[in-house]
Structure 1
Amino acid sequence: MAKKILIVGGGYAGFYTAWKLEKLLYPGEAQVTIVDPLPYMAYLPFLPEVAAGSIEPRHAVVARRRHLKRTQNIAGKVTAISHENRTATVTPNTGEPYDFEYDHIVVTTGSVSRTFPIPGVADQAIGLKTIEEAVAVRDRLVGNFERAASLPADSPERARLLTVTVVGGGFAGIETISELRSYATSLLRRYPEISFDETRFRLVEAMGRIMPEVSERTADWVVRDQTRRGVDIHLDTQLSSAIDGKIELSNGDKYESDLIVWTAGVMPRPFLRETDLPIGPRGHVIGSPTLRITTEDGEPLAGAWTAGDTSQTPDISSTPGPGGFCVPNAQHAVRQGRLLAKNIAADLRGEGVREYNHKNLGAVAGLGVNVGVFQSGKFALKGYFAWLAHRFYHGLAVPTWERKWRVFGAWVGHFFLSRDIVNIEAVQEPRAIFKEFASRPK
């Protein structure tokens, strides 16, 4: 009988595992099922550019049903796992929960924003881990320009609307603040009522430097470059409070900000702690270099696999990440997903599995239109050519040629037409206008 392979989570690692399995498995060898509440995989490195209007939101996601033709898709969540009984509880988006029996389980649930109990953050801030958040950030930024342009120049509310705060100085935070600053600068041409000096962009980072993935010299260049472009970078500084958008920093600064974006870390999905899978001290599923799930003693669990942000996978490369584990980024998730598919197919056939040995290709970041940074070993590239390298790399890395054509086509269009500034905030409450004028029984 065909083996049942259950993939929990359809993000990077889950999508690439299923995509590769469709090419490797013989007809009738196994039935692959993905459970995810969303019908698409989001290409997360594009989120800052989506927030800055450089990429259309639908171009940054990949529809699984279009590209996974032999994989069963279930719209819902896995809310419990009993690997001892080889069953998972599936809670569909619509309908009652039910048990799903499997032979192999692949845990690729990804990560969510990790926050701290800072007053106001849960109520006021927005993350940048999903395509929906990126769209909301873009619409809020443009909407705030529209609202501020109608207010008196000395209005406190105007200053609040034109102030953006990003918390976290890793790659996500730096790319986000840089792209938003670049976008806001371009918006000023359409809003003559607003001056450059009125727009304030602040980055808050608790550590003494930004972007630990690059050299300190490169990171210092990014700080200088973004400061010159109008970004205030606060190092060795923590966010103390954000109640009602009133920002208080550990260095004593106080100001108001309408848009607060949180990018200060990620964590695995908490429900994994309630399963019978071995969990590490920070909530990750314990994995091995072969991407099998193992006990704390290193004993592999038959039929259990993991990859991506949710896994605690040893980094056996020549330059291991912090703690000796693979860091949560797209490079690892994509490559692990591909290898995971090969190892599952080999395991089904009684063949040997391979270890994941990551060869670092370097780090590349977009810092707004025409500005970027690239680091590989001691070699660093900055400015325009690094920006081209960033777009070329990620344009080719987004899965499927259908998505690549859409992304590159949009970039070419923006070169001639500039970025779109249309704001459709109202889509977040699509029934508002209908409800306002709908007839009701007397």
Structure 2
Amino acid sequence: MSTTERPRILVVGGGYVGLYAARRILKKMRYAEATVTVVDPRSYMTYQPFLPEAAAGSISPRHVVVPLRRVVRGAEVLTGRVTTIDQDRKVATIAPLVGEAYELPFDYLVIAMGAVSRTFPIPGLAEQGIGMKGIEEAIGLRNHVLEQLDKADSTTDEEVRRKALTFVFVGGGFAGAETIGEVEDMVRDAAKYYQNVKREDMRFILVDAADKILPEVGPKLGLYGKEHLESRGIEIYLQTSMDSCVDGHVVLKNGLEVDSNTIVWTAGVKPNPALARFGLPLGPRGHVDCNEKLQVNGLDYVWAAGDNAQVPDMAARRAGVENAWCPPNAQHALRQAKVLGDNVVAGMRGFPQKEYAHSNKGAVAGLGLHKGVAMIVMGKMKIKLKGRLAWYMHRGYHGMAMPTWNRKIRVFADWTLAMFLKREVVSLGAIESPREEFYEAAKPAPQPAAPAQEKAKAS
């Protein structure tokens, strides 16, 4: 950590908003005008829309993440957590990966912590559930699912086999529908290489408390998505929640009970709970309360955007929609980050700041290889696509939205190679405990018990 007399702009979070806001600030700032410090528990940013494809092996996991130190050159990147912020003193407490916590003074503050999985006190969920918010979870899900096929192929116990081949997904939004579509595609391919496992032996279940899936693309495309997944043998239960999943025994509100080793939780997100310790005004659902210029209300030196911010949707409000707020998606996050970066520099110089206003351009979702839905908004016209064309739109949009040309090229290269090479279906489950085998080899051998006669002499 460097010490400097220059004003410090502290960016809390290195996700989509944090990365793009820091880059924008560095680009607009004059030489040595301020110090930009980015703090995040991870040294990389994850492009979350690609997590389902990473879980299915369509994209290499390394190509879904962007190293912060490489992309925000000129900024100070600290790997750790901001635990508390004293707004009166303008001091943040940093807890690094190792060592004791320390205080870091700042002059300007950007809150870009994103969101965490929204969970409920369901018995067994903490022990059995698998989230889909980070690349580690996507890799873990892929290894876990393929490991279940290995178990089912090798066992003679029908109960163990049935539990291994039952996959339960909770949440029918983008994350849930895309993940179950990609994973089902993967295991359908993988089953070709197993003698004792067929797709017909597997059971995929998608559960959602709402009355439809994929609400972001509208009711008609959402219905198409539901019918398409069901045509692939996926059971979908709407207006249903999960009551418990202790030891993998899943009990649904509609009375259905199944045993499963795989319970994937994608039932929405919520603002990072650490925001409550930052001395900021929060909205009713825990978001940072911002105005149309992305400034935190009542604090002219603090800005926020993305999933952890409550930002007025000025485009919708001008169209007559009262109390409209920007939805938490990558489309808004990218554009908010650029406006936020400009406004931080303008605020630092005492210049007027810009208002954030962006009209929704639509939504795209992939449901596996060559399958998808897309709604494109062009003025007052909505173009609805489904099938292969929508899948191309999904890949094209997110491929170009991926930060940096380095990662764009790598992602498109993965897709191009996949056109000619078969999908990898190798489970690397041991990667989660790589030292276990070495430990077994290196640990001291147990000493043989002393003969009874020597024990008697010793006594």
TM-score, normalising length from structure 1?
0.96
User: Cα offset for 1:211?
Assistant: 1.3
**1: distance between equivalents of 2:277 and 2:283?**
13
Partner of 2:314: 316
- 1:75 pairs with 60, 69, 79, which one? 79
**1: distance between equivalents of 2:259 and 2:420?**
36
Asked whether the equivalents of residues 181 and 230 of structure 1 are also in contact (C-alpha less than 8 Å), the reply is no
- 1:101 pairs with 101, 105, 127, which one? 105
382 and 328 in structure 1: CA distance in 2 versus 1, 3 angstrom threshold? same
The 5-angstrom pairing of residues 8-407 of structure 1 reads 8-152=12-156, 155-294=158-297, 300-318=298-316, 324-377=324-377, 378-407=382-411
**2: distance between equivalents of 1:419 and 1:20?**
38
User: Cα offset for 1:318?
Assistant: 2.5
**2: distance between equivalents of 1:397 and 1:302?**
31
Q: Deviations over 1:159-183 (max 9, x none)?
A: 1111111101111111011111111
322 and 51 in structure 1: CA distance in 2 versus 1, 3 angstrom threshold? farther
Q: Give ranges in structure 1 of 5+ residues lacking alignment.
A: 295-299
Between the aligned residues of both structures, percent identity stands at 44
Asked whether the equivalents of residues 6 and 102 of structure 1 are also in contact (C-alpha less than 8 Å), the reply is yes
TM-score, normalising length from structure 2?
0.92
Q: Deviations over 1:22-67 (max 9, x none)?
A: 2111101111000111000000000011111111111000001111
User: Cα offset for 1:439?
Assistant: 4.1
Q: Deviations over 1:331-388 (max 9, x none)?
A: 1111111111011111122221111112211100010001011012432100001111
Q: Secondary structure at the match of 1:346?
A: helix
Q: Deviations over 1:251-291 (max 9, x none)?
A: 11111111111010111111211221111121111111101
User: Cα offset for 1:323?
Assistant: 5.7
**2: distance between equivalents of 1:326 and 1:260?**
30
Q: Deviations over 1:88-123 (max 9, x none)?
A: 101111111111110100011111101011111111
Q: Secondary structure at the match of 2:103?
A: strand
Partner of 2:453: none
Partner of 2:429: 425
Asked whether the equivalents of residues 217 and 373 of structure 2 are also in contact (C-alpha less than 8 Å), the reply is no
Q: Deviations over 1:110-137 (max 9, x none)?
A: 1110101111111100110011000000
Which amino acid in 2 is paired with 1:254? E
Moved more, 210-219 or 108-117: 210-219
Q: Deviations over 1:180-204 (max 9, x none)?
A: 1111111111123212211111100
Which amino acid in 2 is paired with 1:268? P
**2: distance between equivalents of 1:372 and 1:101?**
48
- 1:408 pairs with 412, 415, 421, which one? 412
Q: Secondary structure at the match of 1:33?
A: strand
Asked whether the equivalents of residues 54 and 139 of structure 2 are also in contact (C-alpha less than 8 Å), the reply is yes
Partner of 1:297: none
Asked whether the equivalents of residues 214 and 225 of structure 2 are also in contact (C-alpha less than 8 Å), the reply is no
Q: Deviations over 1:230-253 (max 9, x none)?
A: 211111111111111101111111
**2: distance between equivalents of 1:422 and 1:64?**
29
Asked whether the equivalents of residues 364 and 389 of structure 1 are also in contact (C-alpha less than 8 Å), the reply is yes
Q: Secondary structure at the match of 1:90?
A: strand
Q: Secondary structure at the match of 1:189?
A: helix
